[in-house]
Amino acid sequence: MAKKKAKEIELDLSSNWDYAPSMESTGHIQLKKKYDLFIGGKFVKPKSGVYFDTINPATEEVLAQVAEANEADVDAAVKAARKAYDTVWSKLSGKERGKYIYRIARLIQERAREFSVIESLDGGKTIRESRDIDIPLAAAHFFYYAGWADKLDYAFPNRNPQSIGVAGQITPWNFPMLMIAWKIAPALATGNTVVLKPAETTSLTALKLAELFQDAGLPDGVVNIVTGYGQTGSHIVNHPDVDKIAFTGSTGVGKLIMKSIANTNKKSTMELGGKAANIIMEDAPLDQAVEGVINGIFFNQGHVCCAGSRLFIQESVYDIVMRKLKDRMQALVVGNPLDKNTDIGAINSKKQLDTIKKYIKIGKEEGAEIYQPNCTLPKKGYWIPPTLFTNVAQSSTIVKEEIFGPVLAIQTFRTVDEVISKANNTPYGLSAGVWSDKGSKVFNLTSQMRAGVVWGNTYNKFDPTSPFGGYKESGHGREGGLQGLEAYLKFNA
């Protein structure tokens, strides 16, 4: 990729140089040509008879075929989950359930490299992220919730916690394996059984996980995986024998699901969209703040619900922050997700690429000023260079709407009150970031932000012990921590 050096250190801007490629090997991974549905502990052919291709968005090559579950397939999966709940899983002691979940966690660790490579192949995210973030965190969630399985009475003293039954779980494509771990681990720890539908573009790690459940000896039917499109998800949502819906995805689909279950006894947790504010105060450590902004929006191609997609810079440091930001963007490597040097991988799908391009076009049409560094994008696959917009207003479409791509909209502010009102002026409320040298300023801002997670002098940090979730149109309920357990329990006392 072409590089330009930072202006302030006066290097030759015209020279081009490349890192030597450092490719992650794919020789060790095992993928079947065709994947069936995972129901009752076995891979079974879909009654629909239909399969669809899952592709590598960096090359557009077909990786495998995946079954599309219809209503009858979903019904079979729910029946298997109910049977496993009634006959096995709800009858096991917490200690025994915990042993299975620990075993799953250990097996994920053992096969971490294979899962990481498959995650990057199927979804387009960089190997650095899937290897260092997605897969280790997924294992950490199973370890964490395994530890709670036999301690529910201590977690909720005097409340007599009871499992709910069959949980229907629907996950998105941005953190495929991690979102599955966030959902399956607490459901199993609390004694529920599961019917899960992964996102259509990233089903492979879910199906590899099904193989791992078989290896772990998890009793048949405790977790069932039905692949397919949105329609498959709606069959889960509308199935009368599903007791709880755990959904992560867009606010639009979240609203549809809430309407569908409004007249039922189904419990729900909704982890929806976001439009996070990242705020740089004039006294912030600016290099760290710039690095945090880069991480906040360009990490995982901006396919992050909590991406810091709105940046607010205090006016007095605007020029210097912009210079540092542009210089840093110039050094980002866009390209093959399996190359360990890559910072920004492939956009997950053609559909998402078109959405991001549409927003970039709208940004320009509405008069915003665009900056993209010079970089050569691969010929095949789905790519967007890191992009920032200045000269935007609170009313600009790219400031108001979730883009879900590597696109940053930048505004300035003078006072704390001004930035709080601007940052909170959004229908979303998932996350935010604040950068300042003074703890008192950080706490003042964080306490006034209407966001489920607010990071201080860091960004995109996750931990299984910490609850995650949103306000307003970013959803309800929390995943992670004790709150994540509570979402899978009913209380009789």
Task: CB nearer to ligand NAP: give 198 or 386.
Answer: 198
* CB-closest chain residue to ligand NAP: 233
Q: Which stretch binds ligand NAP (CB under 6 A): 245-253, 282-290, 312-320, 365-373?
A: 245-253
Token pair for residue 288?
Answer: 């760290």
Catalytic residue among 68, 129, 305, 486: 305
Residues 182-201 that bind Mg ion (CB under 5 A): 201
Residues 281-310 that bind ligand NAP (CB under 6 A): 305
As a whole number of angstroms, the distance between CA 316 and CA 355 comes to 34
Question: Among residues 3, 38, 54, 116, which is the contact residue for Mg ion, using CB under 5 A?
Answer: 54
274 binds ligand NAP (CB under 6 A): yes
CB distance 173 to 199 below 8 Å:
yes
430 binds ligand NAP (CB under 6 A): yes
As a whole number of angstroms, the distance between CA 130 and CA 125 comes to 7
Q: Residue 459's closest CA among 248, 290, 272, 346?
A: 290
Task: Write the CB contacts of 199 (distance below 8 Å, at least 6 apart in sequence).
Answer: 171, 172, 173, 176, 249
Task: CB nearer to Mg ion: give 200 or 220.
Answer: 200
Q: Which stretch binds ligand NAP (CB under 6 A): 43-51, 140-148, 155-163, 249-257?
A: 249-257
CA 130 to chain centroid, in Å, comes to: 11
Token pair for residue 214?
Answer: 């078989």
Rg (alpha carbons) of the chain, rounded to whole number: 23
Question: Among residues 98, 124, 172, 296, which is the contact residue for ligand NAP, using CB under 6 A?
Answer: 172
Residue 307 binds which entry of ligand NAP, Mg ion, none, with Cβ cut-offs from 5 to 8 Å by kind?
none
Token pair for residue 325?
Answer: 């930001």
What is the number of residues in the chain? 493
* CB-closest chain residue to Mg ion: 122
- Supply the minimum distance, in Å, between the C-beta of residue 66 and Mg ion: 9
Task: CB nearer to ligand NAP: give 37 or 199.
Answer: 199
Q: Which residues pair with 270 in a beta bridge?
A: 247, 476
Residue 452 binds which entry of ligand NAP, Mg ion, none, with Cβ cut-offs from 5 to 8 Å by kind?
none
CA 412 to chain centroid, in Å, comes to: 28
Task: Write the CB contacts of 27 (distance below 8 Å, at least 6 apart in sequence).
Answer: none
Question: Among residues 69, 84, 185, 199, which is the contact residue for ligand NAP, using CB under 6 A?
Answer: 199
Residues 200-229 that bind ligand NAP (CB under 6 A): 200, 229
Residue 271 annotated in active site: yes
273 binds ligand NAP (CB under 6 A): yes
Question: Among residues 79, 141, 197, 328, which is the contact residue for ligand NAP, using CB under 6 A?
Answer: 197
Token pair for residue 218?
Answer: 């998890």
Cβ burial of 269 (10 Å; 0-12, 13-18, 19+) is: buried
- How many residues touch ligand NAP under the rule CB under 6 A: the total is 30
Task: CB nearer to ligand NAP: give 325 or 398.
Answer: 398
Residues 62-101 that bind Mg ion (CB under 5 A): none
- Supply the minimum distance, in Å, between the C-beta of residue 53 and Mg ion: 9
- The DSSP output letter for 317 is G
List strands edge to edge, sheet with 193-197.
42-44, 37-39, 223-225, 193-197, 166-170, 244-248, 267-271, 475-476
Task: CB nearer to ligand NAP: give 220 or 473.
Answer: 473
Residue 122 binds which entry of Mg ion, ligand NAP, none, with Cβ cut-offs from 5 to 8 Å by kind?
Mg ion
Cβ burial of 373 (10 Å; 0-12, 13-18, 19+) is: buried
122 binds Mg ion (CB under 5 A): yes
253 binds ligand NAP (CB under 6 A): yes
CB distance 472 to 492 below 8 Å:
no
Residues with catalytic function? 271, 305
Residues that bind ligand NAP (CB under 6 A): 170-174, 197, 199-200, 229-230, 233-234, 237, 248-250, 253, 256-257, 271-274, 305, 402, 404, 430, 470, 474-475
Residues that bind Mg ion (CB under 5 A): 54, 122, 201
